[in-house]
Amino acid sequence: MEKLKIDLENLDNVFPDDFSPEQIAKAKTLFLKELSEKAHQFYGGKIQTVPKAPVLGFNWFNVWYTPGVSRVSTNIRDDHNTSYDLSNRGNLVAVVSDSTRVLGDGDCTPSGGLGVMEGKAFLMKYLGGVDAVALCIDSKDETGKNNPDKIIDFVKMAQHSFGAVNLEDISQPNCFKVLDVLREECEIPVWHDDAQGTACVTLAGLLNALKLTNRKIKDTKIVLYGAGASNTTIARLIIADGAKAENLIMFDSKGSLNIDRKDIEDDKRFYRKWELCLTTNKNNVKTMEEAMKGADVLISLSTPGPDTIKKEWIQLMAEKSIVFVCANPVPEIYPYAAKEAGAYIVATGRGDFPNQVNNSIGFPGILKGALMVRAKKITDNMAIAAAHSLADFAERRGIDIENIVPNMEEAEVFPREAADVAMQAIKDGVARVIISEEQAFEIAKKDIEYSRSLVKNLTNEGFISDPPQEMLEDALKWAIDQVK
């Protein structure tokens, strides 16, 4: 592949020297959005279906299809478990969304989520060696409202074609019911990446940030800003891993979660939030200013910024404060501004800033681990095991205040994570297949290496073409002109 003149790995160097940090941050975002649109247009999306079996002559069509394949159908009919061995089901994930909360863009209509869902499929294949298909569905009922039961029914009907389901970008409160019902009633694992995935990776980052600041999770005061699927699940996993619920204070758009929030208590759809109203915020703190006084950690998954989180709030925090601002596509405060306000460690969801705390290092390995042992579900213990796997991997290779979690380029983290998740599934009694840790690691490593080699060889042979240099140049010029 010809080396491009614009290096996406060093974007800070491509903007004018007189740009301020804020201008550079804005220009980066605009450039990546513009380039994304152009690149998707150029390639016609980013996913295709490729056979993994050969065609060695005409009669092989009769093997892969009729009449030979009849034996496969009757075998699966007589023993449904053989569907994992005789089809691609055992390594196939459905990425299901009604596209009602796509990144920071809200309801994008069903087909509007395809770019993100194909992106999940892309990362699953390249990072986890897992095949996936994007399924964006219409969840509106006859009244025009998005109905969680329609998503539940769809997944239940489709589950027999897949080894696992990844739920994505479903607005609250529907997301709570959809996940909780499907986790219990499906025969295959159902994973909500906005909830469990974000919680897993955030916990991994938090564990290492606490190590770097000499804190214990049980003694840490944590403020969570935003009370959607992500932060409510983050709170649950943090508590399950040793944090004290009374040391957590959470805010939604109407204020802090506390026992006086009758609006949450009365709306049974928000039962997950009400659980947190009952268990967190022991002093019934009402304002963000009061909550942030002496806080050790801020975890924000709220409205995209950069002015959602105030510098004044961060200035109230304890020494060596930890700030996670992970809204996409723009963090609630830019890292440089958070550091100016006194934050010691800052993490975002973006790869063009230090400390990318993003689901992309979680779900490929987690789903691979669940698939390898044909898990019936993904337990909270499996998510916590993945978080510790990620944190331990990063610690072994070295961590610092701008490098607290692994990144997507560290290919070896994914088979390690997959193996740890598979072993936890066996411990939790949800695995249908029992394998050793070494076997799990080798299977995942082989499949991931295959996926990466496939993309590399397709690119080298020209089946995947290089992006045109002028496409990057046009996107960069447009972004700079918008910020000037």
Which residues are catalytic, by number? Answer: 65, 120
Q: Do 101 and 167 touch, CB atoms closer than 8 A?
A: no
DSSP 194: I
- What residues pair up with 300 in beta bridges, in sequence order? 225, 325
The enclosing H or E element of 165 equals strand 164-167
> And the tokens for 320?
């060596």
User: Phi and psi of 192, rounded to 5°?
Assistant: -105, 105
SS3 250: strand
Sheet with 343-347, edge to edge strand ranges:
255-256, 248-252, 222-225, 297-300, 321-325, 343-347
Q: Tokens 């649109």 correspond to what residue?
A: 37
* Percentages (nearest 5) of helix, strand, coil residues in the chain: 55, 10, 35
Got the DSSP string for 423-481? HHHHHTT--SS---HHHHHHHHHHHHHHHHHHHHHHHHTTSSPPPPHHHHHHHHHHHHH
The DSSP code sequence of 308-374 is: SS-HHHHHTSPTTEEEEE--SSS-SS-HHHHHHTTEEEEEBS-TTSSSB--GGGTHHHHHHHHHHTT
- Bridge partner residues of 325 (DSSP): 300
Tokens representing 214 are 């000499």
